[in-house]
Structure 1
Amino acid sequence: MTATPAGPVAERESAAGSVAEFVAESVWSGDQLDLDAYLARIGYTGGLEPTAETLRGLHRAHTAAIPFENLEAALEREVRLDLDSVQRKLVTERRGGYCYEQNSLFAAVLERLGFVFTAHGARVRTAGPTLRPITHVLLRVVVDGAEWIADTGFGGPGTLEPVEVRVGTPTWQGGWAYEVAEEAGGVRVLRSLGARGWSDLYAFAPNPLYPVDVVILNHFTSTHPLSRFTGQIVVQRVTPQARYSLVRDELTVTRAGAADGAEERRKVSAAELSEVLESTFGLVIAAADIERLGRLHDPAR
């Protein structure tokens, strides 16, 4: 058992019945989490009891504050998933990350607060029905007698808040709608409503994943030449009103409720990259890294 930390978190945890007193074995390193720093990073000031309300509030604040980005992989750097590295990057340095980083951090938070959850690997279906490998990780949380999909790391098409697993029942989050479908073998599918109707985002099976499994998935995603996260920039964020996606040198903005499915697309030059990352995604990147990332826009530079 770790010592109870000092500061605002400790005061609220004490008032909530010492929710920080969790089992000694910490699968997701929740015992090492700097919870005060994390809550300050996402701007969350709500309760810390392991309830559905807390889950929704934390998820919503995390998604709003920490963007999806693959810039370390694009720069051919090692993407580390130990909690110290993830906290330093996403919290202290105020960077973003992709699903393995985002949901590893969120898992540590949920574990610290006493939530009951498991991680699962998913097959992404945004490119259509072709069978694809498991390359995504999400969290399944059981709280207040219900089951929820919590996923802070799917990027632009992803959710703002957890989605309750009620098969065939749509959930609206701002201008976006999601639902959960069920297939043979207990496979669950998260779906999103667009201008052309419902489409699958990803599918996942009941078997759980653990941090050691996520390390293997991360190695492929961050280093393999066939991974979509190597050799190009991918930065995304979702708000209640719009989804923003920068892939290589193209910025796409999708507005909620656009009946015709129209998207705003424009090219982002290497000279604009720093400003777009900061103004659209809240990322401030060192000048030397911007120079290297700019070469992915224009290999001739």
Structure 2
Amino acid sequence: MDVQAYLRRIGIEGESSPNLDFLTRLQQRHMFTVPFENLDVMNKTEITLDPDSMFAKIVHNRRGGFCYELNGLFYRLLQELGYEAELLSGRVAADDHTYGPEFDHMLILVRLDQDYVVDVGFGDSVRSPLPMSGEEVSDVSGTYRIRKNRTVFSFKNFWGING
């Protein structure tokens, strides 16, 4: 992966050490410059989730993508920058408080001083890492927290948009 090309795509010059401040900056810049889009899904265009295809689409062709593409490529960027990260399956909450199927969404777990959920693939959602501690995080899109629900962690936006 051409890390510098990716960083230029999201408007970041140079690199920094893997810490929470830089992770927050990466997430914010990505969300401000790379759109969530599902045009290929709607047009029934074949989507290839291999890293080279995602990189060409998002970085070289300056397009967006859906969660598997955006979070998949962002995960690889984080790894290249030295972050300890893993991909997670997500289930999207519906208005009736039920959840979609497993693997309905993809997001990223990043391990720093504590664990954080990072998600650049859900459109208008939280723009900074969410601590797994249950601490609330507020930004222009709402107030978020991750809370433990039995043995499963749930991701909830308190302003009525679940993701």
Q: Which residue is 1:59 aligned to?
A: 27
Q: Is the 8 A contact 2:89 2:105 kept in 1?
A: yes
Match status 1:68 vs 2:36: yes
Q: Which residue is 1:192 aligned to?
A: 157
Question: Paired residue for 1:100, among 57, 68, 71?
Answer: 68
Gaps of 5+ in 1: 1-32, 203-301
Equivalent-residue separation in structure 1 for 2:145 and 2:78 (angstroms): 23
Q: Which residue is 2:96 aligned to?
A: 128
Match status 1:153 vs 2:121: yes
Match status 1:118 vs 2:81: no
Q: Which residue is 1:140 aligned to?
A: 109
Give, as a single letter, the amino acid of the residue that structure 2 aligns with 1:49.
S
Deviation (angstroms), 1:47: 4.0
Q: CA RMSD in A?
A: 1.5
Q: Which residue is 1:201 aligned to?
A: 162
Q: Is the 8 A contact 1:190 1:200 kept in 2?
A: no
Q: Which residue is 2:149 aligned to?
A: 183
Q: TM-score, normalised by structure 1?
A: 0.51
Structure 2 SS opposite 1:81: coil
Equivalent-residue separation in structure 1 for 2:10 and 2:22 (angstroms): 14
* Deviation digits for residues 258-277 of structure 1 (CA, Å, limit 9, x no counterpart): xxxxxxxxxxxxxxxxxxxx
Structure 2 SS opposite 1:161: coil
Size of the aligned set, in residue pairs, is 162
Structure 1 SS opposite 2:12: coil
Q: Which residue is 1:174 aligned to?
A: 140
Equivalent-residue separation in structure 2 for 1:200 and 1:152 (angstroms): 16
Work out the percentage of aligned pairs sharing the same amino acid: 31
Gaps of 5+ in 2: none
Deviation (angstroms), 1:127: 2.9
Q: Is the 8 A contact 2:7 2:14 kept in 1?
A: no
Question: Paired residue for 1:45, among 13, 19, 23?
Answer: 13
